[in-house]
Amino acid sequence: MLKLTGVNMTFKPGSVNEKRALIDVNLVIHPGDFVTVIGGNGAGKSTLLNVVAGVCNNESGRIVLDGIDITRKPEYKRAAYLGRVFQDPMMGTAAGMIIEENLAMAKRRGKRRSLRWEITREERAEYCRELAKLGLGLEERLQDKVGLLSGGQRQALTLLMATLQKPKMLLLDEHTAALDPKTARKVLQLTQDLVAQEQLTTLMITHNMKDALRVGNRLIMMYEGRVIFDVEGEEKRSLDTRDLMEKFEMVSGGEFANDRMMLG
Amino acid sequence: MPAGHFYAVFIHSGGCARCNASPIDPSAGSAIAGREQKPMNVMLAMQDAFAQGLLWAVMSLGTYISYRVLQIADLSVDGTFALGGCISATLIVGGMNPFFALIFSLLGGMIAGAVTALMNTFLRIPSLLAGILTMLGLYSVNMRIMGKSNTPLLGEDTIITLAGNVLPFSKNVINLLIGIVFCVGLIAVMYWFFGTEIGCALRATGDNAKMARALGTNTDNMIILGLLLSNGLVALSGALVAQSQGFADVGMGTGTIVIGLASIIIGQVVFRFLRGNFALKLLAAVLGSVLYRVIIAIVLQLGLDTNDLKLFSAVLVAVALSVPLLREKYKASRLRKEAE
Ligand SMILES: Nc1ncnc2c1ncn2[C@@H]1O[C@H](COP(=O)(O)OP(=O)(O)O)[C@@H](O)[C@H]1O
Ligand SMILES: [Mg+2]
């Protein structure tokens, strides 16, 4: 589904602050894979997703999504293929617009926009149905400004928006990190439901090792811009947090594994 | 007779504005002649304020697109307002029909807006600076267009004189009617446009550009479209004002951005009940523009020196801009007190 070949990404190249955020990343993700991504702060996890989404342009290497070379496509064109949810619940929705306007924008992700008025009656009915599935009562509030919703509600809405128009891939960047534990669990459960329902190929960054182990069929660990560990299936299921920590200490040359990734 | 009706309404509200000012009116209770003289002046001043307010409101609607929808303080409007006036005046003197001249002013403003937007999007110059550069450059452009700093329209046809030929009203009333037609028409068109798919993408770009891009919106194009429409309206307003006042001047746009912001913010603060619906918010901006002119007319009647007007406007906008924050702080401190 997604194939990264020799991808490098350097921030501020040539300056004193030069930062090699991705170093020769090679990664093949198969259709239906649900990959969790872990790694310490600054390991390059977000950069990996951003390079796929076109937020930043990789300096070398190729990115092919479902047979389409998207390496040089701008972010807004790649949006046609990708559903995205960010860490900050405020980033995924437009606060000043009402819920159904946000959904209507998401429904038209990657489509040509015209001078038609948004939102037909059938469309509204569909939004109601989909919102009802979230179980947050949002189906009663189609005309409410999104800015009135809580962080958890907004994140759930963003998740729905990312999948309303089935994407080739779902990219989740610590999308539960800013929520309180209870809401985080709920949103994660919702994520699993949606992914299973729509059989979405998913790349999910998380800072929570237990979640990383429990969710998905495959796990990758990043360290200083490289993918240093990649397990799937049975092998992944047999892992526990202790194994992950050992693995981390091994590749980081004994660096003590109490980095932020090791929390939880 | 809708026209007559509007006339009556505006005269009436003009009177009210006068009443508010009367406690400090020194002529109150003086000689009969004086008392009759003064209200007439005030009445005319108010009529004029309403008419000017509505013609300038077209500019406020344009500024609304940049300032409120895209959340960009676009300073190019100081130049594009004058540009609209200069294009119209030059074309009219050259023999063009004043209605067509309006269209060319609109187009001129759109081009200027696109220049600012391209500097912002393609060259990544911050929008504030891009606007200043366009504003500065337009001064020379406007001088080039007119070939001099001021073009009088004395004896030329303008949309006001043409309308005056067919309608039996005074110049002030015709200004007022033209202002109403343009404002109502524009509110309707803008309400429609910002409800379309493209309009929503434009609003989302201003609201949350990251989200807009993630949903497939080319945000650069939306900024270009927004500033193009915004400056087009501002130039149209400049053209209307020039035709109404009977001349265009390269300096006529100075402070336009301040007046635009003042109208939007005064409208929002004073007409707080006009919320929710987008068309109502636009209406609030239009009424804010009218109220701004009324306030200016009142302080002038009260004897403010015209040279001090710009300082007064600047202070007025600073105060209006700080009202929402002050209101928040007041609320917060009251809540704290209650909690104690
Ligand atoms: N826009 C940027 N400019 C400069 N450096 C950046 C930028 N974004 C990320 N970096 C750097 O790149 C490295 C990887 O960052 P990131 O991918 O965000 O890490 P994480 O794994 O925590 O998500 C970090 O060292 C970070 O400081
Ligand atoms: Mg990150």
Asked if residue B24 belongs to a domain, the reply is no
Query: Shortest CA distance to A29 belongs to which of A46, A43, A48, A42?
Result: A48
Q: A255: pLDDT confidence band, cut at 50, 70 and 90?
A: low
pLDDT of residue A231: 92
Report the nearest atom of ligand 1 relative to the CA of A50. 17
How many Cα atoms sit within 13 Å of A261 on the Cβ side? Answer: 27
pLDDT for A263 beyond 50: no
Asked if residue B83 belongs to a domain, the reply is yes
Nearest CA in chain B to A90: B208
DSSP B196: B
- Which of A79, A93, A108 lies nearest to residue B213, judging by beta carbons? A79
Asked whether the beta carbons of residue B216 and residue A76 sit closer than 8 angstroms, the reply is yes
Spacing, Cα A38 to ligand 2 middle (Å): 10
Report the nearest atom of ligand 1 relative to the CA of A48. 17
Query: Shortest CA distance to B120 belongs to which of B195, B36, B213, B227?
Result: B227
- Beta-bridged to residue A36, according to DSSP, are A204, A219
Note if the pTM is more than 0.90: no
SS (HEC) of B54-98 = HHHHHHHHHHHHHHHHCCCCCCCHHHHHHHHHHHHHHHHHCCCCH
Asked if residue B249 belongs to a domain, the reply is yes
- Which of A95, A109, A115 lies nearest to residue B215, judging by beta carbons? A109
Structure tokens at A229: 């560990």
**pLDDT 10s digits, A48-59:** 999 999 999 888
**pLDDT 10s digits, A190-243:** 999 999 999 999 999 998 889 999 999 999 999 999 999 999 988 888 888 888
Q: A253: pLDDT confidence band, cut at 50, 70 and 90?
A: low
In this structure, the number of other CB atoms found within 10 A of the CB of residue B79 comes to 33
Spacing, Cα B272 to ligand 2 middle (Å): 41
DSSP A71: T
Spacing, Cα A155 to ligand 2 middle (Å): 17
**pLDDT 10s digits, A161-182:** 999 999 999 999 999 999 999 9
* DSSP assignment string, A5-45: EEEEEEESTTSTT-EEEEEEEEEEE-TT-EEEEEE-TTSSH
List Cα–Cα distances, A33 to A216, A233, B114, in angstroms.
8, 10, 45
Residue type (1 letter), B278: F
Asked whether the beta carbons of residue B204 and residue A91 sit closer than 8 angstroms, the reply is no
Chain B partners of A115 at a C-beta cutoff of 8 Å? 193, 196-198
Residues constituting chain B: 340
Asked if residue B29 belongs to a domain, the reply is no
Query: Which strand ranges, in their side-by-side order, compose the sheet holding A19-29?
Result: A19-29, A2-11, A60-65, A68-69
CA A126 from centre of chain = 24
Whether the Cβ atoms of residue B31 and residue B269 lie closer than 8 Å to each other: no
pLDDT of residue A258: 52
Q: How far is A258 from chain B (nearest CA, A)?
A: 33
CA B312 from centre of chain = 17
Asked if residue B335 belongs to a domain, the reply is no
pLDDT for A3 beyond 70: yes
Nearest CA in chain B to A145: B276
Q: Which residues line ligand 1 (CB under 6 A)?
A: A 11-12, 19, 21, 39, 41-47
Domains of chain B: total: 1
Domains present along chain A, CATH in parentheses: 2-81+167-263 (3.40.50.300), 95-166 (no CATH)
What residue's CA is closest to ligand 1, atom 7? A11
Asked if residue B112 belongs to a domain, the reply is yes
Helical residues (DSSP H) of chain A, grouped into ranges = 45-53, 75-78, 99-107, 121-134, 151-164, 181-198, 209-214, 233-237, 241-251
Mutation to test the B interface, candidates A76, A78, A116, A148, most B Cβ within 10 Å: A76
Torsion of CA B151, B156, B158, B163, to 10 degrees: 160
Q: Give the list of residues 6+ apart from residue A191 with CB closer than 8 angstroms, or none.
A: A159, A172, A175, A202, A204, A215
Asked if residue B10 belongs to a domain, the reply is no
Residue type (1 letter), B193: F
Q: A114: pLDDT confidence band, cut at 50, 70 and 90?
A: confident
The residue ranking higher by pLDDT, B171 or A250, is B171
pLDDT of residue B238: 98
Helical residues (DSSP H) of B194-308, grouped into ranges = 197-207, 209-214, 219-245, 256-270, 278-301
Q: How far is A19 from chain B (nearest CA, A)?
A: 23
What residue's CA is closest to ligand 1, atom 3? A11
Sign of CA pseudo-dihedral B116, B122, B127, B130: negative
Helix (H, G, I), strand (E, B) or coil at B170: coil
CATH number at residue B132: 1.10.3470
Helix (H, G, I), strand (E, B) or coil at A162: helix
In this structure, the number of other CB atoms found within 10 A of the CB of residue A93 comes to 28
For B152, phi then psi, to 5°, come to -80, 150
pLDDT of residue B4: 37
Asked if residue B143 belongs to a domain, the reply is yes
What is the complex's ipTM, to 2 decimals? 0.91
- Which of A74, A77, A117 lies nearest to residue B195, judging by beta carbons? A117
- Which of B197, B200, B215 lies nearest to residue A79, judging by beta carbons? B215
Torsion of CA B322, B54, B136, B66, to 10 degrees: 60
Q: How far is A182 from chain B (nearest CA, A)?
A: 26
Q: Give the list of residues 6+ apart from residue A182 with CB closer than 8 angstroms, or none.
A: none
Whether the Cβ atoms of residue A8 and residue A24 lie closer than 8 Å to each other: yes
| Residue appearing with tokens 């990115």 | A63
Spacing, Cα A86 to ligand 2 middle (Å): 9
Q: How far is B260 from chain A (nearest CA, A)?
A: 21
What residue's CA is closest to ligand 1, atom 4? A11
Nearest CA in chain B to A81: B216
List Cα–Cα distances, B102 to B91, B99, B302, in angstroms.
9, 5, 35
Q: Give the list of residues 6+ apart from residue A104 with CB closer than 8 angstroms, or none.
A: A118, A119, A123, A127, B197, B200
Report the nearest atom of ligand 1 relative to the CA of A41. 22
* Cα B285 to Cα B265: distance, rounded to the nearest angstrom: 7
Best of A7, A10, A11, A17 to mutate for ligand 1, by most ligand atoms within 8 A of CB? A11
What residue's CA is closest to ligand 1, atom 16? A44
* Cα B24 to Cα B150: distance, rounded to the nearest angstrom: 38
Helix (H, G, I), strand (E, B) or coil at A67: coil
pLDDT of residue B33: 39
Crossing angle between the packed helical segments B197-207 and B219-245, to the nearest 10 degrees? 100
Spacing, Cα A233 to ligand 2 middle (Å): 25
- The boundaries of the domain holding residue B85 are 44-303
Report, as ranges of residue numbers, the positions in chain B whose pLDDT lies below 50.
Answer: 1-37
For A23, phi then psi, to 5°, come to -125, 115
pLDDT of residue B325: 83
Chain B partners of A74 at a C-beta cutoff of 8 Å? 218
* Cα A64 to Cα A3: distance, rounded to the nearest angstrom: 5
- Which of A94, A114, A161 lies nearest to residue B197, judging by beta carbons? A114
